[in-house]
Amino acid sequence: ILMSENFQVIVIGAGPAGYVAAIRAAQLGLKTACIEKWIDDNGKCKLGGTCLNVGCIPSKALLDSSHKFAEAKHDFSIHGISSNDLSMDISKMLERKNKIVSQLTGGISGLFKANGVHSIFGAAKLLANKIVEVTDPSGKKEQYTADHIIIAAGSVPITIPPAPLVDDIVVDSTGALEFKSVPQKLGVIGAGVIGLELGSVWARLGSQVTVLEALDDFLPAADLTISKETFKTFKKQGLDIKLGTRVTGSEVIGEGDNRQVKVEFTDSNGKTEMLFDRLIVCVGRRPLSENLLSPDSGVNLDERGFIFVNEQCETEVRDIYAVGDIVRGPMLAHKASEEGVMVAERIAGKKPQINYENIPNVIYTHPEIAWVGKTEQELKAAGTDYNVGIFPFSASGRAMAANETTGMVKIIAEAKSDRILGCHIIGPSAADLVQQVVIAIEFGASSEDLALTVFSHPTLSEVVHEAALAVSGHAIHIPNKPKRS
Ligand code: FAD
Ligand code: NAD
């Protein structure tokens, strides 16, 4: 085994947690290496992790393509635009997605060069005494040492015994980004974020989609008002979401192109079977912590396999940190990147903190669903007194002009102080609208602060303004309940 250089910082993993940490550390003048094992079809190292290669970016590329198709098919006519003879070239859609991914992953290589981050290709294992062993694709091992180590090895899809993956028939989220044709009947196990996003992609392109969800509640992490509205909206769009469903088995039947998958499940009606052309299993992700730590590395996992860290992402070994999907908290790219930045800056002697209470969540369906902070049911359970303001997009002139009137903005503020505690949106551009309230919360704003802010007319953000006004019963463009002076 070769013993190579010492670095001030070694980052394991080049996803949004790791590559961002590496760039920030190098910006701060630290001699930094980033180790990545992701291998592309040509045997080359690919940076960007789950998010860029098989996650956020490719899924949004397909969501945007399929949305344009569905919009042209169903919604253009109301504007007087005819779109007969519409067709979709799936291979072109996939080609566009792949091009965007390559552009972005290549962009990270460029950023590494520009910032002086040393890129190392291979699988890393953390040994004792801050030694990192890297095995390259040919099997050659090399060891590096570092003053500080940041583990950012990310997560992988969970598989379940009743639905093992089979070729391109029973797939995880990665396979669902690659279907070569539109499956006529598509099954989805799990009505979480991936199930809704990727289920929507193929439903818009013509699949008949059935979603099998184990829980009785739909989107339990979302505010109840929003999850109810979301369920109704998706039902109208043709997603058949079966709650309280336990998948007990699956079997691929038929030959060649005619292969189908038979799925057995139990629900309140008892045992049922359904036949699908394709099945997506998206029941959550798990931390990728195997083959990563030698037993004497000193870094411990929690009971669910996540690397155990404190609020500052410090492991139990001094100068070893872990960030992103491999630690507690939401598995979101923006949370991962902010943790990467925080740790790089703390290594350099700065003292930033992340406000874990103020991390936005988005589901990129159409309409979008987005929220931040506390839900009404959480506040009720905690016994907090609060006021709620709701404003529907159907009362917004701009939403009407855009023919995008589904949904609402709901703002919740603490009764005594009027401090904003949460914002919950289903509607057009919800992802960008919620960010306005994320900023307000970060600045400690009250609903009155938002109410006193001038919003451009006519914009969708006026719906945020009116929801803030509604908290104290002052909304202008809907009757307020109760009417307040
Ligand atoms: P990852 O992105 O998983 O990166 C970890 C990297 O470490 C990988 O490249 C891996 O190869 C590498 N690695 C692992 N072990 C080793 C080792 N031993 N040696 C060397 N390298 C190693 N989040 C959002 O916020 N918004 C979205 O819209 C969104 N959409 C998503 C859509 C899909 C279909 C999926 C699957 C996920 C989506 N996510 C989204 C989640 C997001 O992708 C993750 O939260 C994010 O990628 C986590 O970043 P990370 O750097 O912690 O881990
Ligand atoms: P998820 O946790 O969002 O949803 C999984 C769903 O599957 C849950 O509703 C769960 O109750 C259900 N489930 C679990 N086991 C089941 C079983 N045996 N049968 C039927 N249903 C079952 O997970 P996901 O959709 O796989 O996504 C993984 C993670 O990736 C998410 O938690 C999220 O953090 C991240 N992600 C984020 C975005 C985004 O931010 N827009 C998009 C995609 C993925």
Mind listing the pLDDT tens digit for each residue in 197-240? Answer: 999 999 999 999 999 999 999 999 999 999 999 999 999 999 99
76-129: pLDDT as tens digits: 999 999 988 999 999 999 999 999 999 999 999 999 999 999 999 999 999 999
- In this prediction, what percent of the chain has a pLDDT beyond 90? 96
Do the Cβ atoms of 301 and 308 come closer than 8 Å?
Answer: yes
**Nearest ligand to residue 174 Cα:** 1
382 token code pair? 């905690």
Residue 2 has pLDDT above 70, yes or no: no
Comparing CA positions, the residue from 45, 1, 43 lying closest to residue 19 is: 45
Nearest residue (CA) to ligand 1, atom 35: 55
Comparing CA positions, the residue from 428, 435, 440 lying closest to residue 471 is: 440
- Nearest-10 crossing angle of helices 56-74, 90-115: 140
| Catalytic site residue from 79, 457, 474, 477 | 457
What is the SS3 assignment for 140?
A: coil
- What single-letter DSSP state applies at residue 139? S
169-192: pLDDT as tens digits: 999 999 999 999 999 999 999 999
Q: Helix (H) and strand (E) counts for the chain?
A: 12, 22
Residue 484 has pLDDT above 70, yes or no: no
Q: To the nearest 5 percent, what fractions of the chain are helix, strand and coil?
A: 35, 25, 40
Ligand 1 is surrounded, with C-beta below 6 A, by 12-18, 35-38, 49-51, 55-56, 59, 123-124, 152-155, 173, 194, 288, 292, 324-325, 331-334, 336, 364
Which residues partner with 422 through β-bridges?
373, 412
**Region of 221 on the Ramachandran plot (φ > 0 left; ψ -120 to 50 alpha; else beta):** alpha
| Residue 364 CB–ligand 2 contact under 6 Å | yes
Do the Cβ atoms of 22 and 151 come closer than 8 Å?
Answer: no
Q: Compute, in angstroms, the gap from residue 274 CA to the centroid of ligand 1.
A: 32
Q: Compute, in angstroms, the gap from residue 174 CA to the centroid of ligand 2.
A: 14
Q: Ligand 1, from 51, 150, 363: best to mutate by most atoms within 8 Å of Cβ?
A: 51
Mean pLDDT of the chain: 97
CB count within 10 Å of CB 249 equals 12
9-32: pLDDT as tens digits: 999 999 999 999 999 999 999 999
Residue 1 has pLDDT above 80, yes or no: no
pTM score, two decimals?
0.97
Do the Cβ atoms of 143 and 135 come closer than 8 Å?
Answer: no
Q: Compute, in angstroms, the gap from residue 284 CA to the centroid of ligand 2.
A: 4
Task: Give the number of the atom of ligand 1 that is nearest the alpha carbon of residue 48.
Answer: 9
Nearest residue (CA) to ligand 1, atom 34: 55
Do the Cβ atoms of 206 and 182 come closer than 8 Å?
Answer: yes
pLDDT of residue 485: 59
| Residue 213 CB–ligand 2 contact under 6 Å | yes
Nearest residue (CA) to ligand 1, atom 8: 49
φ/ψ of residue 132, rounded to 5: -115, 125
Confidence of residue 257 (pLDDT cuts 50, 70, 90): confident
477 classed as catalytic? no
| Residue 93 CB–ligand 2 contact under 6 Å | no
Alpha-carbon distance of 26 to 9, in angstroms, equals: 9
Confidence of residue 41 (pLDDT cuts 50, 70, 90): confident
Whether the link from the prior residue into 137 is cis, omega within 30° of 0, is no
Task: Give the number of the atom of ligand 2 that is nearest the alpha carbon of residue 333.
Answer: 40
